[in-house]
Structure 1
Amino acid sequence: MKVLFVCMGNICRSPTAEAVFRKCAEKVGMDDRVTVDSAGTGNWHVGKGPDSRACMAAARRGYDLTTLRARQVSMDDFQRFDLILAMDHDNLDRLLAMRPSASKAEIDLFLRRYGVSEDAVPDPYYGGEDGFEQVLDLIEDGAAQLLNEIRGRL
């Protein structure tokens, strides 16, 4: 199963989701059956590491974002990934608009798909540190549900 998390710039929410979900899969011994990546719909931060505040918040919970680098969603992603999960409605709309007709990927809104308390992962970029903690809370909840879904598929 191949999963791609997508936000706007790939420096806050989607790399956090990538790291959290990767660690969830490792903890239950599914890392050999799950491929996880992240990307952004925009190209502003391509090649840059995640936001330092996202890295610090993640590190406090045992996740390492420091090796990740931002990239933009490519047309190949719609063939390479089984599931593409958008962090918010805007990015979901962008993904659906750019989706090739021959795409094999299922595209959905991450939190809505799993019935987490929020519909979308809020963008913490312009806020304070609390926003990054909230993002982690939501992503951890969603990642646990995603793991259950994948267990049922494998």
Structure 2
Amino acid sequence: MKVLFVCLGNICRSPTAEAVFRHQVQAAGLERRIHIDSAGTADWHQGKAPDSRSCQFASRRGYALESLRARQVCPEDFDRFDLILAMDHDNLARLQQLRPASARAELDLFLKRYDLGCDAVPDPYYGGDDGFEHVLDLVERASAALLAEIKGRL
């Protein structure tokens, strides 16, 4: 199973989701069966590390983001991945526009798949520290639900 998390710049939300989900997958002993990556719909930050605040708050919870590097979604991703999960409605719409007609990947909103009280992961970039904590809270809960879903498919 191959999962791609997508936000706008690939420096806050999607690398956080990648690291959190990878941590949960490794804890479940499934790292050889589940491939995880992240990307952005925009090209602004290609090759750059995640936002320092994302790294800082994730590190406090035991997640390592520092080695990740931003990249932009490419057409091949729609065949390379089984599930592409957008962090919000705008990025889902961009993915739907980029998606080749013959693509096999399933597209969805990450939070919408689960009953978490909201359907989009808010962008913490222009906010305060509480925004990064909130993103981690949402991503941890959604990642646990995603792992349970995927275990049912394996």
Report the TM-score, using the length of structure 2 for normalisation: 0.99
The one-letter code of the counterpart of 2:106 is E
Q: How do 1:75-86 residues align onto structure 2 when only pairs under 5 Å count?
A: 75-86=75-86
Checking the alignment, whether the CA contact within 8 Å between 1:12 and 1:124 is kept in structure 2 is: yes
Checking the alignment, whether the CA contact within 8 Å between 1:118 and 1:138 is kept in structure 2 is: no
The one-letter code of the counterpart of 1:114 is Y
After superposing the two structures, state which structure 1 stretch, 5-14 or 109-118, moved more: 109-118
Instruction: Spell out, residue by residue over 1:6-33, the C-alpha distance to the aligned partner (whole angstroms, 9 max, x if none).
Output: 0000000000000000000000111110
Shift of 1:96: 0.6
SS for the counterpart of 1:43 is coil
Give the structure 1 partner of residue 97 of structure 2: 97
Shift of 1:115: 1.8
The one-letter code of the counterpart of 1:41 is T
Work out the CA distance in 2 between the residues paired with 1:108 and 1:97.
13
% identity of equivalent residues: 67
In the alignment, does 2:106 pair up with 1:106? Answer: yes
Regions of 4+ moved over 2 Å: none
SS for the counterpart of 2:93 is helix
Give the structure 2 partner of residue 151 of structure 1: 151
SS for the counterpart of 1:116 is coil
Give the structure 1 partner of residue 136 of structure 2: 136
Instruction: Spell out, residue by residue over 1:48-68, the C-alpha distance to the aligned partner (whole angstroms, 9 max, x if none).
Output: 000000000000000000000
Instruction: Spell out, residue by residue over 1:83-120, the C-alpha distance to the aligned partner (whole angstroms, 9 max, x if none).
Output: 00000000000001110011010000000011222210
Give the structure 2 partner of residue 50 of structure 1: 50
| CA RMSD across the alignment | 0.4
Instruction: Spell out, residue by residue over 1:117-146, the C-alpha distance to the aligned partner (whole angstroms, 9 max, x if none).
Output: 221000000001110000000000000000
Work out the CA distance in 2 between the residues paired with 1:70 and 1:98.
18
Work out the CA distance in 1 between the residues paired with 2:5 and 2:82.
11
Q: What number of residue pairs does the alignment pair up?
A: 154
- Unaligned 5+ segments in structure 1 are none
